[in-house]
Copies of this chain bind each other. A is one copy, B any other.
Amino acid sequence: MKERKKTRQIHIGDVAVGGGAPVVIQSMANTKTADVESTLAQLRALAKAGCQIGRLAVPDSEAAEALKAIVPYSPLPLVADIHFDYRLALKSVAAGIQALRINPGNIGSEEKVRAVIDAAKDADIPIRIGINGGSLQKDLLAAYGNTAEAIVESALREVKIFERYGFDRVKISVKSSSVLKTVAAYELLSEKVDFPLHVGVTEAGTLLKGSVKSSLGIGILLNEGIGDTIRVSLTGDPVNEVIVAKEILKDLGLRREGVEIISCPTCGRTKIDLEKMVNEVESGLAEVRPKRPLTVAVMGCEVNGPGEAKEADYGIAGGKGQGLLFRDGEIIGKYKEDQIVSVLVEEIRRNEL
């Protein structure tokens, strides 16, 4: 991996973004913001899953009004997502929101953008300039087509307005639903500005396909040192966005925590029910928060099994109806197939909590 690009640092509530801070995970509630109870419940679920910043759509006055009852009780600092009507941004700020996201392409005149900037300045909160391939200004589309260049040009145009009014607590996103266009836009933008970048592929799709798309776009960029906060965008329960985001950061060595389970794909050599066993290990360890980050290998055969199991902190190398249990590279016992997972979970609970 390349060294992470040095960006300026902003804070959303007490969460630092950019400037060398660890990459931050964020997600967006898909409840009606006006439904205070449901929204708070989802924010709590997101926080529990490991989300660090929450975002709420503010499509109307009712939603902006609800922020007053949400912000003080939210377990996460919140970003109000504003489109079309700049007055909703002003109301969100008045309700105590910790950051704004505007897509200047649909906010309208520079005066309106300026009113939002002034409000944010007074409240001492940052603004995300969130450009989307799907909502570019007409003149940029005419000049560049729907390209990475058009998206970046749109972002730079807004940055100029913000700078003109002396506001630099800015975070930028330049998302597209195309992985390649997203990657190209962030690469280009990262060369041109040192504001912290919010990275994601937009409208990524359903759980599996969306996770692939997000992993590709976010992964390629993080591997190039680009990205200060990430959002995995999936159709459905946003808790899955957080699960996938955590997996991406863990796999890229940007976060070490909890238990990493590795398992073999199973093949004609496998003589135990490995899929069942891995699922049992996953559920047995789901709530386990070990003191140190742990790698647990669950392997089905004698080919790669002992090697991988030895490398891991804990490992199972399966044989016919039984398996070897490893800890820190040493065999600690041989157990029957139907017992080995509970012995493993018990060992980890005893030694690692």
Interface residues of A (CB under 8 A from B): 1, 28-34, 39, 55-59, 63, 81, 83-84, 103, 106, 132-136, 146, 177, 179-180, 183, 202-213, 215-217, 219-220, 223, 233-236, 238, 240-241, 243-244, 247-248, 251-253, 261-270, 274-275, 278-279, 282, 297, 299, 301, 303-305, 307-308, 311
Q: Which chain B residues lie closer than 8 Å to A279 at the CB level? A: 206
Contact of A203 among B59, B103, B220, B297 (CB under 8 A): B297
Contact A208 to B211, CB < 8 A, known contacts A135-B304, A266-B235, A308-B134: yes
Interface pair B213/A251, CB less than 8 Å apart:
yes
* A278–B212 CB distance below 8 A: no
Q: Are B303 and A135 in contact (CB under 8 A)?
A: yes
Cα(A127)–Cα(B210), bound, Å = 35
- When the two chains form their complex, are residues A219 and B208 in contact, meaning their CB atoms are under 8 A apart? no
**Of all chain B residues, which has the CB nearest A305?**
B134
Copy total for this chain: 2
Inter-chain contact B135/A247, CB cutoff 8 Å: no
Known: A212-B251, A247-B213, A297-B203. A63 touches B236 (CB 8 A): no
- Contact A235:B278 (CB < 8 A) given known A211-B211, A265-B241, A268-B59: yes
- B282–A206 touching, CB < 8 Å: yes
> Shortest Cβ distance from A342 into chain B, in angstroms?
19
- 17 interchain pairs, CB-CB under 8 A: A1-B180, A29-B267, A55-B267, A132-B307, A136-B307, A180-B252, A202-B265, A204-B262, A208-B240, A212-B248, A215-B215, A216-B252, A233-B264, A235-B264, A235-B266, A235-B275, A236-B266
